Amino acid sequence: MIRKDFAMAKQKAKLKSEQNDNPGGPGRYFIRLNFNERVQHMIFLICFIVLAITGFMLKLPEDVVAKFGDAKDVVFYYRGLLHRTAGTIMILVSIYHVFYLLFKTAGRRWLVDMLPRFKDLSDLFGTMLYYLRFRVRPPEYDRFYYKQKLEYGALIAGATLMSVTGLLLWTEERWPKFILDIAAIVHGMEAILACLAIMVWHMYEVHLRPRKFPIDNLWITGVIDEEEMMEEYPLHYQKIMADPELQKAYLQPEHGKRDVSGRISARGSE
């Protein structure tokens, strides 16, 4: 099965490169993540990985810890330092994200599009029917659909909980031990939940999904092509096409031939 996915990915890459070589072809790209959002994602991603590794190092079995040999106390020192540094950066990015949502045009659009609506519930129901073959096509999604909204909600809840409990544990002497015990349990269990969710929900979405395999370039380039846009987010596509203002925001200005490096540096609307 995986081999077939590889073959499909290769075919898709070839098709895209052919489209890009042809200036008259349908090489129009839609901005899903602007430069600012991509940088936020990148910082958050690095912090998350560092935090997960340095955090779960506390749960290593005794014999694995013993493998660090004489350097284990040095490893422990840098583990703590990295964990706190990455945690601080993650909190700062999260605070900036709130600022971005409230005070930037693109951020405000993001916030409005991300708010849960009744349509999300009906989309979930419709998608299930589609998965179970009771429907031929999935429901038409807007800019963000239920899966992404759930993930974003979980991210906000998770980051808040982890930040608060992390800060409590960091400033332990100021709090009653019972509060710290709760914080330690929540911090540990939430970490397991977050890592598993990222692995099952997000990694599948951007790596294993047959259309995306082996990796979705969106986190680097920030754009998707017109075909994908029409297929995955048809409602949003229609809205953009009908509104010149939205076209300014979401349509990559210099469409046509554009290499990957060009797309990476594309800033999009902020």
Residues contributing to the site for another protein (CB under 8 A)? 1, 8, 58, 62, 65, 68, 70, 72-73, 75-77, 128, 130-132, 138, 147, 172-178, 180-182, 184-186, 189-190, 192-193, 196-197, 200-201, 204-205, 208-211
Q: How far is the CB of 259 from another protein (least distance, A)?
A: 27
For the CA atoms of the chain, what is the radius of gyration? Answer: 22
Residue carrying structure tokens 């759930």: 150
Q: How far is the CB of 151 from another protein (least distance, A)?
A: 10
- The CB-side HSE value for 235 (13 A sphere, CA atoms) comes to 12
Of 65 and 249, the one with the shorter C-beta distance to another protein is 65
The tokens for 211 are: 């259309």
Q: 186 CB contacts (<8 Å, ≥6 apart)?
A: 161, 165
Residue 158 CB, nearest distance to another protein (Å)?
Answer: 11
For another protein, the closer of residues 5 and 113 by Cβ is: 5
Cβ pair 171, 200 in contact under 8 A: no
Identify the residue whose tokens are 């659909």: 145
Nearer to another protein, 46 or 196 (CB): 196
- Nearer residue to another protein within complex by CB, 35 or 130: 130
CA distance 2 to 207: 12
Q: Choose between 14 and 72: whose C-beta lies nearer to another protein.
A: 72
The number of CA neighbours under 13 Å toward the Cβ of 2 is: 3
Smallest gap from Cβ 176 to another protein, in A, equals: 4
Least distance to another protein, CB of residue 117, Å: 20
Nearer to another protein, 49 or 128 (CB): 128
Q: In terms of Cα–Cα distance, which of 259, 29, 237 is closest to 142? A: 237
Q: DSSP code of 216?
A: -
Q: How far apart are the first and last CA of the chain?
A: 41
Supply the minimum distance, in Å, between the C-beta of residue 228 and another protein: 13
